[in-house]
């Protein structure tokens, strides 16, 4: 088979090279696979951690909310988020922003700057806005609808229909006693109502003890995250 010892040596040498090369290839493939698996695991965990980080947007069902906003020179922090459902169907996800110094529910409900953002998961008509707000306000003790009727009619007339992905935002500024409504943050606002009493009652649709839902209110206040 081999003519001389030199031929044998060359065969052994070539075989060793082939064996060594095969070992290196297999080792490299193993290292690459290991790195891929570690990177994939880290990526999945990292995405989850980013969602819950206080410095990252908080996301629910495709609706993301930044951890803080500025309202006329004052920084408001994200207090909590929640998804409102009707007969099991997601309607909107809400986020409440309030001053960090407003620690209690009563403080947030009171004369402080605040903003509520509602991100919609389905189409809602203006009539549906009117019906639901009217229903909640009628069931809220202490709310005198007759006194609020002019402002309630004005904001009901300002509402536009929404589709999936649209956002309504309402904000209150105690310095002027003004509540404003925006659609998708477009300026100018759809309406501005100067009445602290109306603002308190209207925010109560989502923030009072007689709101659209106890679970929703608890969560936007950050108490059931």
pTM comes to 0.75
pLDDT score, position 53: 59
Peptide bond into 142 cis (omega under 30): no
How many CB atoms sit inside 10 A of residue 32's CB? 10
CA-closest candidate to residue 114, choices 196, 35, 37? 196
Question: Nearest Cα to 143, choosing from 208, 98, 84, 221?
Answer: 208
Residue stretches of the chain with pLDDT short of 70: 1-54, 224-225
pLDDT tens-digit map of 1-25: 434 444 434 433 444 444 434 443 3
Tens digits of per-residue pLDDT, 108-118?
A: 999 999 999 99
Question: What's the angle, vertex CA 75, arms to CA 210 and CA 81, rounded to 5?
Answer: 40
pLDDT of 56 reads: 86
Buried b (16+ CB within 10 A) or exposed e, 87-124: eeebbbbbbbbbbeebeebeebbeebbbbbbbbbbeeb
Give me the residue label for tokens 């909107």: 92
Provide the 3-class DSSP secondary structure of residue 172. strand
């Amino acid at each position: 088979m081999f003519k001389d010892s030199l031929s044998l040596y060359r065969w052994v040498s070539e075989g060793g090279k082939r064996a060594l090369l095969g070992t290196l290839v297999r080792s490299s493939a193993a290292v690459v696979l290991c790195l891929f698996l570690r990177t994939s695991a880290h990526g999945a965990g990292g995405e989850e951690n980013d969602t819950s980080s206080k410095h990252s947007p908080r996301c629910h069902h495709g609706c993301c909310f930044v951890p803080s906003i500025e309202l006329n020179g004052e920084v408001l922090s994200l207090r909590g988020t929640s998804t409102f459902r009707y007969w099991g169907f997601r309607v909107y996800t809400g986020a409440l922003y309030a001053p960090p110094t407003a620690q209690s529910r009563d403080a947030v409900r009171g004369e402080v700057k605040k903003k509520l953002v509602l991100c919609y998961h389905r189409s809602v008509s203006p009539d549906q806005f009117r019906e639901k707000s009217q229903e909640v306000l009628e069931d809220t003790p202490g709310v005198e609808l007759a006194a609020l009727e002019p402002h309630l009619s004005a904001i009901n007339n300002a509402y536009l229909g929404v589709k999936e992905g649209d956002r309504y935002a309402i904000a209150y500024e105690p310095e002027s006693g003004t509540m404003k409504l925006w659609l998708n943050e477009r300026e100018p606002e759809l309406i501005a109502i100067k009445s602290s009493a109306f603002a308190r009652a209207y925010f109560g649709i989502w923030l009072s003890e007689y709101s659209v839902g106890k679970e929703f209110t608890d969560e936007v206040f950050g108490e059931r995250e």
